[in-house]
Amino acid sequence: MANIAATAAPSTDTAATLPTRLAKGFVDRLVIIVPYLWLLFFFLVPFIIVFKISLSQTAIAMPPYTPVLDFTDGISGFFTGFRELNFDNYTWLTQDALYFNAYVTSLIIAGISTILTLIVGYPIAYGMARAPATIRPTLLMLVILPFWTSFLIRVYAWIGILKPEGLLNQLLMSLHVISQPLVILNTYTAIFIGIVYSYLPFMVLPLYSSLEKMDYSLVEAAQDLGCPQTSAFWKITFPLSLPGVVAGCLLVFIPAVGEFVIPDLLGGSQTLMIGKTLWNEFFSNRDWPVSSAVAVILLLVLTIPIMFFQQAQARAQEQGK
């Protein structure tokens, strides 16, 4: 503080404000540092640990892998460890089509679910944004309300609805819509229903926030000039809500790729998703190194395309200006 006071002294006119301005700068930087520290401790450090395990070998021990890069033997031990690093676990993943198929299936299931969630979520968000301002908080509350019940219980409830003797089949049969119960539980359809239902709020909330901010007088102007309602929607409303669409889709797609609970409870045994493959490696094979390698690849599969996508978007925005 003494230093700051000394440097601040010469410029007499700003002498009073500079320390406060500096203090403000410090607070600003602190505000930025907090999320970076958060990322460092809760993303980077765990990722490095996982990456480290992925380069080791299994062992019958506690924990069940050979230590690599151990500092207890001093610097020389560290370098011997360095030489022992190997990427066998990654080559292993390429030798069995199982892993590739699991990644692809997961991406396809997550992709279809994301599109379905968008189709279901957009009208909801649009309806909310266009609703009278007085009831919007209530509608928002209704979207958030399911979070008050455990995710697991809500997915379990779907078993009761979808099973052969479940609520849906009983209803349809009593209405004579169908004569045989529909087989939905333990199929891909059930997984889609589960994901769309569980992740809907993550789609609706960002869509709602971008639609609510939109200046509706633009649409009114278009209509005044004779633009039909549907093309006004596609030419004005939808492009303006794109940031919400992108945010919503990412929020649904990313967790859906690694989804484990929904396919386990609602899906059939034949469903091969990366979450289950990871579980098998970790729990059934007790192969922590290979399961870590699967996790590292999953992270790369997800983050690299998203990084390119964001860069392309930033570039497009700059060109737009």
Partner 1 sequence: MIRKALWLSATSAFLTLFTINGHAEDRVVNVYNWSDYIDSSIIDDFTKKTGIKVVYDTFDSNEILETKLLAGGSGYDVVVPTANFLARQIQAGVFQKLDKSKLPNLSNMWDVISERTAKYDPGNEYSVNYMWGTVGLGYNVKKVQAALGTDKVDSWDVFFNPDKLAKLKDCGVYVLDSPADIIPATLKYLGLDPNSTSPDDISKAQEALLKVRPYIRKFHSSEYINALANGDICLAIGWSGDVFQARNRAEEAKQGVEIGYSVPKEGAQMWFDQMAIPADAPHTADALEFINYMMTPEVIAKSSNYVLYANGNKASQQFIDKAILEDPSVYPDEETTKKLYTVAPYDPKTQRLITRTWTKIVTGQ
Task: Name the site residues for partner 1 (rule: CB under 8 A).
Answer: 58, 60-64, 96-98, 101-102, 163-165, 186, 268-272, 277, 280, 282-287
Distance of CA 67 to the CA centre of its chain: 32
The nearest distance, CB 108 to partner 1, in angstroms, is: 14
Nearer to partner 1, 6 or 62 (CB): 62
The nearest distance, CB 263 to partner 1, in angstroms, is: 11
242-257 vs 97-130: helix axis angle to the nearest 10?
140
Angle at 304 between CA 121 and CA 99, to 5 degrees: 90
The nearest distance, CB 99 to partner 1, in angstroms, is: 10
Nearer to partner 1, 152 or 306 (CB): 152
Nearer to partner 1, 149 or 285 (CB): 285
Nearer to partner 1, 68 or 143 (CB): 68
Q: What is the 3-state secondary structure (H, E, C) of 154-201?
A: HHHHHHHHHCCCCHHHHHHHHCCCCCCCCCCCCCHHHHHHHHHHHHHH
The nearest distance, CB 68 to partner 1, in angstroms, is: 17
Distance of CA 136 to the CA centre of its chain: 26
Backbone angles phi, psi at 58, to 5 degrees: -75, 155
The nearest distance, CB 267 to partner 1, in angstroms, is: 10
The nearest distance, CB 246 to partner 1, in angstroms, is: 33
Place of tokens 């996982």: 50
Nearer to partner 1, 256 or 272 (CB): 272
Name the nearest CA neighbour of 23 among 3, 4, 9.
Answer: 4
Question: Residue 136: which residues within 8 A CB-CB, separation 6 or more?
Answer: 128, 129, 212
Nearer to partner 1, 76 or 179 (CB): 179
